[in-house]
A and B are shown apart, each in its own frame.
Chain A
Amino acid sequence: MSQQQLISQLNTITGGHARGSQADLLAYSYDGTPGFQAMPDAVVSPGTTEEVSQIVKFCRTEGIPIVPRGSGTNLSAGTTPTAGGVVLLFNRMNDILEVDEENLTVKVQPGVITKDLIDTVEARGLFYPPDPSSMKISTIGGNISENSGGLRGLKYGVTKDYVLGLEAVMPDGSIIKTGGKLAKDVAGYDLTKLLTGAEGTLGIVTEATLKLIPMPAAKKTMLAQFSTMEQAAEAVSAIIANRIIPATLEFMDRATIRAVEDFAKVGLPLEAEAILLIEQDGAEAAVIDEMQLMKEICETHGAFSVELAKTAEEANNLMTARRSALSALARLKPTTILEDATVPRSKVAEMVEAIAKIAAKHDVTICTFGHAGDGNLHPTCITDARDKEEMHRVEEAFEEIFKEAIRLGGTITGEHGVGEMKAPYLEWKLGKSGVNVMRMIKQALDPDHIMNPNKIFGKSEKKRVVVGR
């Protein structure tokens, strides 16, 4: 099949919403992951679930890979079309279909921007907690497929904790509906959870019913400054050990603080070695009590300054600044490679120390920030992709960080997904038999390996039909 035939077929299905100029293909050849880029053969924007189904059926017959893509903010090369094929967009399927205030649910199409969803439900006094740092850009479809976390994960959980039901197109083109507006539902396997976080390898989410909760009455934010990273990390463990679960408990080291402040100019303390950004919400009296208690814990562990944000605007600015951390680090060097190794939260201090040691051993610069409260750190190496020798050392350092995370009872990825980037390390976490079960699921649902190939399991051995150019 020629590329022209492919596009013409996709145009027939979607009424003219397929494209394939070199500029189009290049613009969808990457996502937010450094070092990965590959040209697809076509880009298509279906408008309905039925069109998605027809595209899948057609691609299956022809053996053409499909890569579902939201806004392309993926950080594990999950939406990079490394096997070519069709990049499937949801920019025409981006409506909030229903906010059900009686059942506290919202029904959305996958192309809805996360922040738009959050704003819409908050205007009605409802709360959708998952808030990945890219929420102004990312889509709900992408969040579901990656099971995205965010800054509020510690107290409120991650995307999967809010997905009640899905409509999805399976790799054979059939359309299924899972779950629903139900608090309880044990009718068979939990396919909702299976598709959530499947990174588009088992099917394509075309509609979702999400759980909402009431908006907390009060919210307070504070900033604690420390003169060593270890002190800050110990304060994190102490807060949790004192039976307090804050909504947000974020960590930033000195280099990150400086890069973020350089961009956001919100008055972050440049003299601190580490800061904790702490937010608590709930009933007002409880929030005030717990913030006071956390302040004391921080001070006991060596914080030289702990200050409450004076206004909602100041609090919001601090959180927004934190969300820019990864990209702000790109100010320092041309290439930023970040990981999201995650450990049990009691091990955060140990992990922070290990990262520092590993960085020194391999002579690389690693800045660390992240969701300290849930053990999800983002050690980020700033480097230059053109320096092959240093890139090699970076790789070695990250391998060691993964090993250390697993040794401490952690995982290779907390919220960014395996994608293609971390596929080589999946077995470290799951073991051979664990990976094998996953492969069997993949094989059963997508025997032709057309759904986002190469992701999670790495390069497939299967010889595929390549679209001729």
Chain B
Amino acid sequence: MTIEQAFTERMDEGELMNCMRCGFCLPSCPTYIQTGGDEVHSPRGRIALMKAVHDGIIPVTDEMTNSLDVCLGCRACEPVCPAGVQYGQLLEEARSIIQDYKKPSLKEKIVRKTVLNELFPKNEQMNRAVGLVRFYQTSGLQKGIRKIGFLKLFPESMREMEQVLPAIPKKVQSDRRRLLATGEKKATVAFFQGCLMDTMFQGTNQNTIRLLQSAGCDIVIPEDQGCCGALHGHAGEKNKAVDMAKRNIEAFETMEADYIVMNAGGCGAFLAGYDHLLSQDEQWRERAGRFKAKIRDFSSILIQHGFDKRIHFKKKPHRVTFQDSCHLRNGMGVCNEPRELIRMVEGADYVEMKNADGCCGSAGVYNLVQPKMSMQILDDKMENVMEVEPGVIVTANPGCLLQMKLGIERAGLGRQIEAVHLADYLMDE
């Protein structure tokens, strides 16, 4: 079967036809804006390209695949689509087909192999890798390497990323799989740890758990859980994502929790899409549906359980803004809750920045494989940040957090602005 035949067979024709080409998505698309209004780099254009291949009008060309590669997958086009086209699903299927047929470039191969095959599916590896980063940071190696200019061999964005990686905490092996609510119990939640959150951002996970406890949640942490598979799914590695989905469903369905809760929008939206990912699999479809129905971001749970009546946060007066996580907002429909939580903090002067709902350019491994577009988007983002002059930028996803740290560094604002995760913002003094 040729790649074009695979498009005809595997792409969801009904969904492709649901796009009626009204163009309502155009103003929401970061790459359409960045390219000065290039239809090739718009959601409508990308769907038209997929449909044209599906219909046999054009073959798969480098320009066609490039159009899909340049897409951030931020899904900002979905909530603004009156016709309700599931763009993210179309994109993932198309990428999966291309992945099955195309030979990726050497650079992409390396990123894919290390990030997707080695790091993320295996928690031990992630532990070890992040452990290495910690070793690198604490052993004096970081200083040495910076001195001899070894990092000049890497692309600019990766060099800068090296500078903003957070100080890695020593891995705390916790065997505590069940934690109790503070005060009256309102719900039992199963906590999804996430790979990055569980290693590089362990402190954030601990803070999230404490917040959930304060909100009246008993917490269970299933031992057998793994990576959500989002990076794989977004990158066209559908089969790997399916394996991970099954593993997580198995790990969580025995827990009898009211909700499955996480603090990373990217993971949350992907977990909430397991039902679609497994829709072709009769044995798993229903289980995935039940799993999906329980997915919540921690911010929703805090608001839902009247968190504000239980806890009062007080900080020194400061100005703060929020950068949406695209998948939290566009995938899970959560955007008010984090803002409400920030506004609850005494001393917080919350200012909404322009285009806060626009992608920051992090987008999974996008900032590694499409550094130019990613940095263009980030630099525009920082201009909006500077307009509101915040002391703190709050984020709701690890990728966004690292990207905002990078943006602050690039803009030379390291002394004035701090980027933090919502859970840390609420908990830390």
Contacts and interface: CB of A to CB of B under 8 A. Distances in A.
Interface of A: 21-24, 26-34, 37, 71-73, 89, 91-92, 94, 111, 113, 134, 136-137, 260, 262-264, 324-328, 330-331, 334-336, 384-385
A136 B18 CA distance: 21
Contacts of A89: 37
Given A23-B40, A330-B83, A134 B22 contact: yes
A33 B22 CA distance: 8
Nearest to A328: B82
Given A26-B57, A27-B40, A31-B21, 7 more contacts: A27-B67, A32-B21, A71-B23, A91-B37, A94-B37, A330-B22, A385-B17
B63 A24 contact: yes
Nearest to A330: B83
A67 to B, nearest CB: 13
20 contacts: A23-B64, A26-B57, A27-B49, A30-B48, A71-B26, A72-B23, A89-B37, A91-B38, A94-B37, A137-B23, A324-B24, A326-B20, A326-B82, A327-B24, A328-B82, A330-B83, A330-B84, A331-B84, A334-B14, A335-B17
B81 A327 contact: yes
Contacts of B42: 27
B59 interface: yes
Interface string B36-66: 1111101001001100100001110101101
B196 to A, nearest CB: 33
A22 B58 contact: yes
A24 B38 CA distance: 9
A32 B20 contact: yes
Nearest to B64: A23
A26 B24 contact: no
Given A136-B27, A263-B82, A331-B84, A23 B20 contact: no
Nearest to B68: A23
Contact of A23 (B36, B61, B81): B61
B54 to A, nearest CB: 12
Contact of A32 (B22, B27, B38, B58): B22
Contacts of B64: 22-23
B58 A23 contact: yes
A162 to B, nearest CB: 23
Contacts of B84: 262-263, 330-331
Contact of B83 (A29, A111, A328, A384): A328
Would you list the 8 A-B pairs with minimal beta carbon distance, nearest first? A327-B82, A330-B83, A23-B63, A334-B17, A324-B82, A91-B37, A27-B39, A328-B82
Counting chain B CB atoms within 10 Å of each CB, the highest count among A31, A324, A334 belongs to A334
A22 B67 CA distance: 12
Interface string B1-36: 000000000000010011011111011000000001
Contact of A29 (B37, B48, B63): B48
A326 B34 CA distance: 28
Nearest to A384: B17
B22 A73 contact: yes
B76 to A, nearest CB: 14
B52 A26 contact: yes
Interface of B: 14, 17-18, 20-24, 26-27, 36-40, 42, 45, 48-49, 52, 57-59, 61, 63-64, 66-67, 81-84
Given A23-B67, A136-B27, A327 B49 contact: no
A33 B21 CA distance: 8
B58 A26 contact: yes
B229 to A, nearest CB: 29
Contacts of A325: 82
B83 A327 contact: yes
B203 to A, nearest CB: 37
A327 B82 CA distance: 5
B249 to A, nearest CB: 29
Contacts of B38: 27, 91
A29 to B, nearest CB: 7
Contact of A134 (B23, B36, B39, B83): B23
Contacts of A71: 23, 26, 37
Contact of A22 (B18, B26, B61, B83): B61
Nearest to A385: B17
A38 to B, nearest CB: 10
A91 B45 CA distance: 16
Contact of B22 (A91, A113, A262, A326): A326
B94 to A, nearest CB: 13
A132 to B, nearest CB: 12
Nearest to B27: A136
B3 to A, nearest CB: 14
Contacts of A22: 58-59, 61, 63-64
A330 B18 contact: yes
A288 B194 CA distance: 56
A326 B81 CA distance: 11
Contact of A27 (B20, B27, B48, B83): B48
Contacts of B59: 22
A73 B27 CA distance: 13
A134 B84 CA distance: 17
Contacts of A331: 18, 82-84
A262 B83 CA distance: 10
Contacts of A136: 24, 27
Contacts of A330: 18, 20, 22, 82-84
Given A137-B26, A137-B27, A263-B82, A26 B20 contact: no
B24 to A, nearest CB: 6
B11 to A, nearest CB: 14
Contacts of A26: 48-49, 52, 57-58
A432 B18 CA distance: 39
Contacts of B81: 327
Contacts of A134: 22-24
A385 B21 CA distance: 14
Contacts of A24: 40, 63
Contacts of B24: 134, 136-137, 324, 327
A27 B68 CA distance: 13
A73 B82 CA distance: 14
A311 B61 CA distance: 51
Nearest to B39: A27
Contacts of B21: 30-34, 72
Contacts of A326: 20, 22, 82
Nearest to A115: B27
B20 A327 contact: yes
A28 B48 CA distance: 10
Contacts of B49: 23, 26-27
Contacts of A37: 57
A35 to B, nearest CB: 11
A263 to B, nearest CB: 5
A34 to B, nearest CB: 6
A245 B23 CA distance: 32
B39 to A, nearest CB: 4
